[in-house]
Amino acid sequence: MKGKTTITITIGLVCFILTAVMFMQFKTISQTDITALENMQESDLRAEISSLKEENDEMEIQIDSTTVTIAEYRQKIATNQTASGLLDQELAKANKLVGKSQVSGQGVVVTLTDTEDRTVTASDLIMILNELKMAGAEAISINDQRIVHKSYVAAINNGYISINGNRQVSPYVIKVIGDPLYLESGLSAKQYGYIDAKKAEGLQITLQRSENIVIGSYIGNDIEFKYVK
């Protein structure tokens, strides 16, 4: 009887140990990530290293080719930039020419003012514009209305003066960029010069040289061609 109890207890204990260890093993195997680096066998690690090396080599080749492509693109960008830089310069020049950008430089400022004897007429302004252009004016504005190729000075109903479609009143400040010497001498020739002639007619007119005249751009979007093809 005593022997049987011992056997029973021992067998139970043995079963307990066996199943406990087995379940521990099951759990370990099911929960362990065999692909994790710490759990790999040496041979697996070696295979992994060699495959990684291969991958590395391939990547390096890819890097080389990509670097070449990048260099090509850089070159292309550089040439594009020079091209667009030239275009920008061209555009800026064209804008200056047609009066679509603000310009500055040396020149003269002529001011025409109404007097009791005589008011400034459109033809006075047209005449001075002509005189200024003859004297080599490169950019002109009257009361900040930029004179461009299609600008006009008109007397509306013989009442007021319209420049570029905007009503203007005395005093008329004419800013001119050009050689100041030519401009001044062109306007102020003795007796037949514009200034003398208009002063004789009774207008108040002043002329002032300036080293830095700023002339704003043409205001409005109507410098586009509609009929010129």
Residues that bind another protein (CB under 8 A): 3-4, 6-29, 31-32, 34, 38-39
Query: Based on CB atoms, which residue is closest to another protein, 9 or 169?
Result: 9
Residue 15 or 71 with smaller CB distance to another protein? 15
How far apart are the C-alpha atoms of 128 and 151, rounded to whole Å? 14
Closer to another protein by CB, 21 or 223: give it.
21
Helices within the chain (DSSP H only): 2-31, 42-98, 122-134, 180-187, 194-201
Least distance to another protein, CB of residue 49, Å: 19
Task: Tell the smallest beta-carbon distance from residue 35 to another protein (Å).
Answer: 11
Q: Tell me which H or E stretch contains 224.
A: none
- CB of residue 48 to another protein, shortest distance in Å: 16
Q: Cα dist. 40→26, 31, 33 in Å?
A: 18, 14, 9
Place of tokens 């990684």: 52
Q: How far is the CB of 77 from another protein (least distance, A)?
A: 54
Tell me whether residue 22 or residue 154 sits nearer to another protein (CB atom): 22
What's the closest the beta carbon of residue 11 comes to another protein, in angstroms? Answer: 6
Helical (H) or strand (E) element with 153: strand 153-156
The token pair that represents 74 in the structure block = 């850089």
- For another protein, which is the closer residue by CB, 31 or 212? 31
Torsion angle of the four alpha carbons 182, 188, 190, 191, in this order, in degrees rounded to the nearest 10: 130
